[in-house]
Structure 1
Amino acid sequence: MIVTVVLGLAAAALLGLGWVAQQHVAYTEPLGEMLHVRLLFDLARKPVWLAGIAAMVGGQVLGALALRRADVASVEPLLATNLIFALAAAALFYQERLGPTEWLGAVLVSGGVAAFLVAGRPEGGGIPASGSTVWIAVLIVAGVAAGMVAVALRSSLQTKAMLLAAAAGALYGLQDALTRGSLLTLAQGPAALFTSWEPYLLPVIAATGILLNQSAFDAAPLRISLPATTATEPIVGIVLGVAMFDERLRVDPPALAGEVGGLMALVVGIVILGRSPFLAKSEQGQQAPRDRT
């Protein structure tokens, strides 16, 4: 369990650093490039953005190693602490000190993760007996993400950013669950992995999630766009871990109270940290060649 925690927190640290670097660059891109593949091509020419992507990929690799050792429900709350690391990175980058509000958010996020893990004690899980269960889960998550994008297209800029970020978080949660499934299949041998469909769907889910995330970063500062991703990913990942892989959480009343309380603290802490002025610093001093109202 200790190794899983270390891997999960290291993954979260790299993800947080990657988000700060990506948003710092993406926010300068024209609004007309949102949800267009050319946004990714333009960003790919920026060294800072590429460094952010490299950090994110490193975080995902460490997250995959954690998922190989533990259940989705154990790893997802750890990955949710990436916003703490993003906050710390932004504070160091802009040479600002963390205030009481930021520390409160950090305590709520960390305490929420600890409360959920201690109360729920997630365990078990294996390859689903029925492939239809996995497909139903994939279609539901994809449908919810598509619905959020459809609403975002008719919304104000800040609402658009939050909805696109939430849609990206839902796909990232699905990506984590499919990664877990691929690793469980790999345990049966390389042939079993290559003949399953999960590894081939993963790149599509990942690329779509990145496009939605960068579009959200393009639309609004990190304090508006990142919390929705950070809150949605673990919730979707945990639900899919239970639904797809039969991962078990304790369900007695004290455990349920601790699990619900932990998740509530996690979400509230993410919202508090997301409103931190440090996460808005990346929009200051940048050229904004278009109207954002």
Structure 2
Amino acid sequence: MIGLLVALLSAVVYTVGLTVEQRALHGAESISVHRPLHLARVLLGNPRWVFGCVFAALGSLGLIVSLGLAPVSVAQPAFAAGVACTLLVATLVLGERITRGEYVALGVMPVALGLLGLSTAEGAETGTTANTPVLVAVSLTTVVACVGVMAVVGGRGRYVSAAAMGAAAGLAQGSAGLQGKGLGGLLADHGLWAAVAPALLSPYPYLYALGWAVGIVLFQTSLQRSRASITAPVSNVVGNVFTVVAGTLLFGEQLPDDPLMLALRVGGFALTLVVVVLVRGNVASAEADTSRLRAENAVAADADR
């Protein structure tokens, strides 16, 4: 129960940071993954974005703690569902227009992830260790594939949609989530201070930094092209499914034996796919709205000079 509460609280903190990042990016210069130095200068030179990034990072750290307290199929879905619900509230408060499909997608998402959480049998053991070579191989392959596909498609002059880039970001961040599960396991097994040395000697923090860096570059680029209500659900669903499936296997957390619990697990994953389909249907209009908003902000800024 404590792990679930920590995951939900972390989701609120993360979403506050995400919302601040979005507002900062919509008023900033255009960024591209093909100009990494310019991208870093624009992001790090924007105090509002840095402030939002700090909050998002704190939320991510909270997720790591929760992953050491509860099975990945409970903590990760709870975090993603919390992000979806908080994001919907933030979007409404900010007065942004949301389509009917987005309402349905954001409404279905917490239900889907809630089913995943309910499908975990009460008292299920939390896996804290994994086969390190396999974990490293899965993580590196995932991150390299994300970077490679985006580079090849974008390098050929093809337009990469915000949803596709958000999905790639989700996979990269899902890879980081696996390392978060490993770090959370070390915290659970050794305690805070005693876990420092084993953590530094493990591949977890370094692979976490790699997955986080690739994920944040892809996600921030997609976030500038569209609204958080479009990119975040896609990124969260893809990353969540990847982390739950891979984490359950790599850390030896068993699937439910009870037919009802197993049905809830399968139903949860099926609904996450429905979310992706619903969100992708609104990508074009969302990107057009965001482009118009950015153009209006640029004109207003020129007029003030």
Normalization by structure 2: what TM-score? 0.79
**Pair 56,32 (structure 1): closer, same or farther in 2 beyond 3 Å:** closer
**Pair 279,149 (structure 1): closer, same or farther in 2 beyond 3 Å:** closer
Displacement of 1:248:
1.5
Cα distance in structure 2, aligned partners of 1:265 and 1:258 = 11
Match of 1:33 in 2: 32
Structure 2 counterpart SS, 1:256? helix
Q: 1:225 aligns with which of 209, 220, 231?
A: 231
- 1:173–1:233 CA contact under 8 A, matched in 2: yes
Cα distance in structure 1, aligned partners of 2:178 and 2:50 = 26
**Pair 222,110 (structure 1): closer, same or farther in 2 beyond 3 Å:** closer
**Any stretches of 5+ residues in structure 2 without a counterpart?**
300-305
How many pairs were matched up?
Answer: 286
- Residue 22 of structure 2 aligns to which amino acid in structure 1? Q
Structure 2 counterpart SS, 1:150? helix
Cα distance in structure 1, aligned partners of 2:158 and 2:232 = 17
Is 1:208 matched with 2:214? yes
Match of 1:127 in 2: 129
**Pair 145,251 (structure 1): closer, same or farther in 2 beyond 3 Å:** farther
Structure 1 counterpart SS, 2:295? coil
Cα distance in structure 1, aligned partners of 2:104 and 2:161 = 28
Match of 1:142 in 2: 143
Cα deviation, 1:201-223, whole Å, max 9, x if unaligned, reads 32222222211111222333434
- 1:5–1:78 CA contact under 8 A, matched in 2: yes
Displacement of 1:103:
5.3
**Pair 155,71 (structure 1): closer, same or farther in 2 beyond 3 Å:** farther
Structure 2 counterpart SS, 1:33? coil
Cα deviation, 1:68-105, whole Å, max 9, x if unaligned, reads 21122211111222133222112101277x88766544
Is 1:234 matched with 2:240? yes
Paired residues for 1:50-199 under 5 Å:
50-81=50-81, 82-94=83-95, 104-121=104-121, 123-128=125-130, 130-153=131-154, 154=156, 156-157=158-159, 159-186=160-187, 187-188=189-190, 189=194, 190-199=196-205
**Pair 148,222 (structure 1): closer, same or farther in 2 beyond 3 Å:** farther
Aligned residues with identical type, % of pairs: 21
CA RMSD of aligned residues (A): 3.1
- Residue 215 of structure 2 aligns to which amino acid in structure 1? G
Displacement of 1:238:
0.6
Higher relative contact order (CA 8 A, sep 6+): 1
Q: 1:286 aligns with which of 281, 294, 298?
A: 294
Q: 1:247 aligns with which of 244, 253, 257?
A: 253
Q: 1:257 aligns with which of 263, 270, 273?
A: 263
Normalization by structure 1: what TM-score? 0.82
- Residue 129 of structure 2 aligns to which amino acid in structure 1? I
Cα deviation, 1:261-283, whole Å, max 9, x if unaligned, reads 11222343465468499998765
Cα distance in structure 2, aligned partners of 1:21 and 1:149 = 26
Cα distance in structure 2, aligned partners of 1:104 and 1:156 = 30
- 2:29–2:42 CA contact under 8 A, matched in 1: no
- Residue 162 of structure 2 aligns to which amino acid in structure 1? A
Point out the more displaced range, 143-152 or 62-71. Answer: 143-152
- Residue 204 of structure 1 aligns to which amino acid in structure 2? L
Displacement of 1:12:
1.7
- 1:124–1:248 CA contact under 8 A, matched in 2: no
Cα distance in structure 2, aligned partners of 1:233 and 1:39 = 23
**Any stretches of 5+ residues in structure 1 without a counterpart?**
none
Structure 1 counterpart SS, 2:119? helix
